[in-house]
Amino acid sequence: MKIDVLSLFPEMFEGVLHTSIMKKAQENEAVSFAVTDFRSFSGNKHHKVDDYPYGGGAGMVLKAEPLFAAVDALSLDASKKPRVILMCPQGERFNQKKAEELAQEEHLVFLCGHYEGYDERIREHLVTDELSLGDFVLTGGEIAAMAMIDSVVRLLPNVLGNTDSPVLDSFSTGLLEHPQYTRPSEFRGMKVPEVLLSGNHAAIDKWREEQAVIRTFERRKDLLEHAPLTPHQQQVLKRLIEEKNN
C-alpha cells in the first residue's frame, strides 16, 4: 500500500511514521509513506494556500487550487485513482469497519486541513471520503490522520507479529475484546481466572466468548444490536438481560 499525506506541517508525522509498528511496516514493504507540504502547489510566490471566505465571516478557508494540484500530481503514476480522504469533523465517524475497508486499497491520500475550513469544491469534486475521529474539533487534521493511518496499516499483511491479533481486536468481531492476563498468576492477592491456567483450550475459548459479551454488555450495549453472536453468546446475553431485569 502507498499512503500519501498532504499537510502544512509535515514535520508532525516524523515520529509517528518512523517508529514502532509503522517503521516495521515500511521495513517489511507492506506500506510506503510520503508526507508533502501542499504549499509547494500554491502557484504563487508567497506560497499562500488560504484566503478570506466569500460572504464574510471569521477565519480563513483553504483554497481549492493547491489541493487539486497536489492530488493530481500524486495520481500521475497510479494505475487507478487513489482514495482521497478529507479529515473533517463533519465527516463520517471513523471506526474499525472503515479501517478494514481502507486496508484493501492500494493508494490512500489523506488531506489535513487547518484554518476555518475548506473551499466546498474540494468536498464536492476532489475527495472520495470525509472522515472524523469523533464529535470534537482539533486544530488541524494531522492528529486524526495519524490515528487513522495507524489503524489501517496494522491490518496489512506482514505488519503485526501475530496474524490473529487484528482479527480478535475489539470491534473486529463486533464485540469488545475479552479480558487478558499474563504472569504472575497471582499478584497482591489478585488471581488469574482458573480456566486460563487449565490448559483446556475448549473451556478457554468458551470463557473468552462469554467475557466478550459480558464486557460489551457492561460498556457498549449499542454494539450488541448488530454483533454476529454465536448460539452460546446469545445465551449469555439472554442471561445478562434477565439478571438486569430481575
At 177, list the grid cell.
475484546
pLDDT digits (tens, 9 = 90+) for 112-143: 998 778 999 999 999 999 999 999 999 999 99
- The DSSP string of the chain is -EEEEEES-GGGGHHHHTSHHHHHHHHTTS-EEEEEEGGGGS-STT---EEPPTT--SS-EE-HHHHHHHHHHHHTT-SSPPEEEEEEEEEEEP-HHHHHHHTT-SEEEEE---SSEE-HHHHHHT-SEEEESSSS--SSSHHHHHHHHHHHHTTSTTTSSSTTHHHHSTTTSSSPPPP---S-SEETTEE--GGGGS--HHHHHHHHHHHHHHHHHHH-GGGGGT----HHHHHHHHHHHHHHH-
Strand partners, 33: 3
Which of these is catalytic: 100, 130, 150, 169?
169
- Catalytic residue flag (residue 116): yes
Of the listed 39, 89, 105, 208, which one is catalytic? 89
Question: Which is nearest to 111 in space by CA: 154, 140, 75, 139?
Answer: 140
Question: Mean pLDDT, to the nearest integer, of 138-151?
Answer: 97
- Residue 43 marked in a binding site: no
Contact present, 126 and 68 (Cβ < 8 Å): yes
| Contacts of 55 by beta carbon, 8 Å cutoff, 6+ apart | none
113 known ligand binder: yes
Give the pLDDT score at 66: 97
User: Cell numbers of 69, please?
Assistant: 494540484
With beta carbons less than 8 A apart as the criterion, state whether 214 and 178 touch.
no
Nearest 5°: phi and psi at 219? -115, -35
Residue 164 binned pLDDT confidence (cut-offs 50, 70, 90)? low
Portion of the chain with pLDDT greater than 90, in percent: 87
Answer yes or no: 121 catalytic.
no
Per annotation, catalytic residue among 154, 166, 209, 210: 154
Residue 223 is assigned to a ligand binding site: no
Residue spans of the domains in the chain: they are 2-153, 170-245
pLDDT reading at 103 higher than 80: yes
**pLDDT value for 168:** 58
Q: How far apart are CA 102 and CA 52, in angstroms?
A: 34
Position 206 confidence tier, pLDDT thresholds 50, 70, 90: very high
In CATH, what number does 2-153 get?
A: 3.40.1280.10
Structure confidence at residue 57 (pLDDT): 86
Query: Residue 171's pLDDT is what?
Result: 77
For residue 225, give the C-alpha cell: 444490536
**Does the structure show a pLDDT above 90 at 33?**
yes
135 marked as part of a ligand binding site? yes
Q: Cα–Cα distance between 128 and 27 in angstroms, integer? A: 29
Per the residue annotation, which of 116, 130, 150, 177 is the catalytic one? 116
Q: Is 136 annotated as a binding residue?
A: yes
- For the ranges 67-81, 94-108, 160-174, the lowest mean pLDDT is seen at 160-174
β-bridge mates for residue 7, sequence order: 37
> In CATH terms, is domain 170-245 a member of 1.20.1250.20?
no
Q: What is the mean predicted confidence (pLDDT) over 141-158?
A: 97
89 is catalytic: yes
Dist. CA 54–CA 168, nearest whole Å: 49
